[in-house]
Structure 1
Amino acid sequence: MGEADSPARVSREIGLAIDHAACDPAAWDAVMAEIGRLVPGVWPVLQMVDAAGSGLPLAQWGWDPAHIESYEAHYGAVNPWLPLVLSTPTMVSIHSEERMPAESLRHTEFHAGWLRPLGAMTASSGIKLIDADGRLAMLNLQHERARAEREHGRLAAIMEGIGPRMRRAIETNRACFPPSAARVPGETLLDRVADPAFVVTRDLRLVEASRAGHALIAGGEVLRVGALDRVQIRDPGLAGAVAREVALACGGDPADGAPDIASELAPGPVRIGEALWRVTAIGLRQDLRGVLGMARLLTPDHLALVVLRRTVSDGARARHHLAALGLSPAEIRLALLMDGTRSLVEAAGSLGIRHETARSQLRQVFSKLGVSRQSELAVFILRLRQRA
């Protein structure tokens, strides 16, 4: 196998199409077509599900549309491979013939109604891109069972090569192109981003920002712009997350101090006070900068679009809910400890208050929440945490 067919070269080629999809959600079908062109003999399909809505239309290439429609309408719900996908970590390739061979499904409805009509294309290789916050994104490559064992290594290298780039592009779609937002003619990408967003160089010099980004800079509590227009982030954890994502988006490698491709897992949120911050970054090549309204010839070669998404922590949401029900700060602190894992004496000790004080506060909690027993309060608190 020469360089022209190597997984690294194929991943780079597919990555160019993924960059376009990051700035245009309608381009995911073109990404699937590029995978089909560069990896002959596979039918790629990308599925994204958001608990806030429903399963989004599948982006695909090579499939009979009727077969895709039947999967969306029925067979996706009875797919026996789905539990394997859900139990496998993100960015780890999965191969059906290794984990659950098609032959083992012969007596299932899924095999009879959906796999058998595919003829020889009954094996698949896939990778889970996102599995967090009620969202799931999966890339699947359907192929002939006869080539499954021969192709596993190459397909795994390609999927794991493009997976992190696809994850960042999907996250950018979510931040920049909410389904409910109608596009205004002439509107640039930065105009559409509701969250704080920044176009920066590899060394974090600011080139442009969204309206929310400028507001965050003006506030000065989270970040500021210092000498030479360099973005300075006050919290070390958030600063590290931004630097890492920008380095990866700009093509960072271990020699530059950036993580290697194997470490490109979805970054977790950074907690600052009661807020959780998530960082997403994609690289912006020269041919993509027009969507930002930027002059191509006046900007550096390596730029990244960084989006910061702020949410309130689960504990803060629970405290806000209890405050809305009339509990005082002291009563909220006690109520949240009474989840069935400790006695009132132990809760009082944790809070550094006398048992009699805790008992008086507990009576007020009972009255305001409409419960009469500690067991009822424990159920209330547990359910509140689940909703938060």
Structure 2
Amino acid sequence: MGEAEHAQRVSAEIGLAIDHAACDPAAWDTVMAEIGRLLPGVWPVLQVVDAAAGTGLPLVYWGWDPAAVASYEAHYGAVNPWISVILSTPTMMSMHSEERMPASSLRHTEFYADWLSRLGGMKASSGVKLIDADGRLAVLNLQHDLARASREHGRLAAVMERIGPRMRRAIETNRACFPAGAAFAAGETLLERVADPAFVVTRDLRLVEASRAGHALLAAGDVLRVGALDRIQVRDPRLAGAMAREAALACGGAPAGGMPGPVRVGAETWQVTAIGLRQDLRGVVGMARLLAPDQLALVVLRRAAAESGGQDRLAQFGLSPAEARLALLMDGSRSLVQAAESLGIRHETARSQLRQVFAKLGVSRQSELAVFILRLKDRA
């Protein structure tokens, strides 16, 4: 089996566990165990920090000595020199410690002497930043043998590129359905947990079930409605495209880059998230009585936070309103092409505006701009 076929097979198996964790946060332990089983020689760990909750959630890991994890959470995570690399790297871009900050360069640090050196040969890591926006950070790290570092990274990067977007969607679904981390109450369904408009749909957006807010949005009819054959009809073509792409991907379509960018519809901006619902998860959404198709997706629409404050601050740097709108989208969660599509402008126009943004903010790369914008949003 070739490297590409192996990465595809492994990613598909891990993806099934990720979809389960989207509807059951306790199942992230299983995701880490699947990664460890399918990628021998790797110690996976998932870290999610949510400033809105005022705390970092407990690390989820497999293969690690619990004592090493406990000491990292208590002290060494705060002095980890690789944090600066993580913060400056765009989301969904794989990172390799030996390329960006080799372990040999850290020998003089407390982090290396008292923590990393005690992991035996497991001194190298490959990782991907899943989320870095609105005060939230989520990182998947795969610790592995330093002696095999150069060989391991290519293999692991191929898997992370495939599972990264799926993990981000699952984490976003956890946030929508389990804001306090509480488990389901007796008889409670998944859709009853979602405060945002949410819809269980087929690959071609035929409606199966909706949350309370979803039914209200359909009844209003100004954003979307139910048409012939129970298909959801979306009035704005860009929002329609985002929902169609997310539903198709969640139902097993071709992988996409990352999360789709926010879509402005009138005075509101929407973020679209979708996950696949496996057959054994349908009881969670209360659909066992229905003769539903094999492939279903849970699509959640979330109103994005207003960005006027960020635009006002960017105006102080001399950015025009159009340049500020583009800059605020370039937080590392989307490409320039996706940002242009969200704003309804041509790619050439966005590229010209981006050059002006670089000049006015004194940055030279999209990764630098992403860090600038994230810090700006954190201070909002």
Residue number in structure 1 paired with 2:278:
285
| Deviations, residues 74-103 of structure 1 (Å, cap 9, x unaligned) | 111111111111111111111111111111
Q: TM-score, normalised by structure 2?
A: 0.80
Shift of 1:273: 2.9
Matched, 1:313 2:306: yes
Q: Secondary structure at the match of 1:79?
A: coil
| Structure with greater Cα Rg | 1
Q: Check 1:77–1:218 CA distance in 2 against 1; reply closer, same or farther (3 A cut).
A: same
Distance, in Å, in 2 between the alignment partners of 1:118 and 1:95 is 17
Distance 1:94 1:35, change over 3 A: same
Give the aligned partner of residue 343 of structure 2: none
Secondary structure of the equivalent of 1:290? coil
Aligned partner of 1:264 in structure 2 is: 257
User: Distance between the aligned counterparts of 2:272 and 2:288, measured in 1?
Assistant: 25
Residue aligning to 1:244: 245
Deviation at 1:186, TM superposition (A): 1.4
Identity of aligned residues (%): 75
Aligned to 2:85: 84
Output aligned runs, 1:87-236, within 5 Å.
87-179=88-180, 183-236=184-237
Question: Contact 1:286/1:296 (CA < 8 Å) preserved in 2?
Answer: no
Task: Deviation per CA, 1:257-306: give whole Å up to 9, x if none.
Answer: xxxx3x42122211123322111000112111111111276100111100
Counterpart residue type for residue 126 of structure 1: G
Provide the secondary structure at the position in 2 that maps to 1:306: strand
- Aligned partners of 2:71 and 2:378: how far apart in 1? 34
Which of 282, 288, 291 in structure 2 is aligned with 1:298? 291
Q: In 2, distance between residues paired with 1:67 and 1:105? A: 18
Shift of 1:339: 5.3
Q: How far off is 1:5 after superposition?
A: 7.8
- Secondary structure of 2:284's match? helix
Counterpart Cα distance in 2 of 1:46 and 1:165: 14
CA contact (8 A) 1:120 1:144 kept: yes
Q: What residue is the counterpart of 2:17 in the other structure?
A: 17
Q: Which of 255, 258, 269 is residue 276 of structure 1 equivalent to?
A: 269
Taking the aligned partners of 1:237 and 1:91, their CA distance within structure 2 comes to: 23
Please state whether the residue corresponding to 1:308 is helix, strand or coil. strand
Residue ranges of structure 1 left out of the alignment (5+ in a row): 254-260, 320-334, 343-383
Per-residue deviation, 1:182: 6.3
2:262, 2:272 within 8 Å by CA — same for their partners in 1? yes
**Aligned-partner Cα distance in 2 for 1:120–1:217:** 56
How far apart are the structure 2 equivalents of 1:312 and 1:142?
A: 35
Structure 1 SS opposite 2:56? coil
- 8 Å contact kept, 2:25–2:181: no
TM-score, normalised with respect to structure 1: 0.78
Partner Cα distance (1:28, 1:161) in 2: 17
Conserved? CA contact 1:289–1:296, under 8 Å: no
Moved over 3 A (4+): 1-5, 180-183, 335-342, 384-388
Q: Secondary structure at the match of 2:302?
A: strand
State the AA in 1 paired with 2:239: L
Distance 2:290 2:314 in 1: 59
Change (3 A) 1:340 1:206: closer
CA distance in 2, matches of 1:304, 1:178: 20
Distance 1:38 1:252, change over 3 A: same
Q: Is the 8 A contact 1:274 1:312 kept in 2?
A: no
> Is the Cα contact below 8 Å between 1:275 and 1:312 reproduced in 2?
no
1:367 corresponds to which residue?
A: none
Find the counterpart in structure 2 of residue 74 from structure 1. Answer: 75
The AA in structure 2 aligned to 1:306 is: V
Whole-angstrom distance in 1 between the partners of 2:8 and 2:305: 39
Distance 1:312 1:214 in 2: 22
Distance 1:4 1:252 in 2: 17
Who is 1:328 aligned against?
none
Instruction: Say whether the 8 Å CA contact 2:259–2:273 is kept in structure 1.
Output: no
Q: Structure 1 residues 264 and 385 mapped into 2: Cα distance closer, same or farther (>3 Å)?
A: closer
Q: What is the rounded CA distance, in whole Å, between the counterparts of 2:315 and 2:61 in structure 1?
A: 50
Quote the Cα distance in structure 2 between the aligned partners of 1:386 and 1:32: 30
**1:81-133 alpha-carbon deviations (Å, 9 max, x no partner):** 11111111111111111111111100001101110110111111101111122
Distance 2:377 2:139 in 1: 28
* Alpha carbons of structure 1 residues 340 and 59: separation in structure 2 relative to 1, 3 Å: closer
Give, as a single letter, the amino acid of the residue that structure 2 aligns with 1:264: G
* Higher RCO by CA contacts (8 Å cutoff, separation 6 or greater): 2
Shift in CA distance, 210/4, structure 1 to aligned 2, threshold 3 Å: same
Helix, strand or coil: the match of 2:115?
helix
Offset of residue 135 of structure 1: 1.2
CA-to-aligned-CA distance 1:330-359 (integer Å, 9 cap, x gap): xxxxx99995869xxxxxxxxxxxxxxxxx
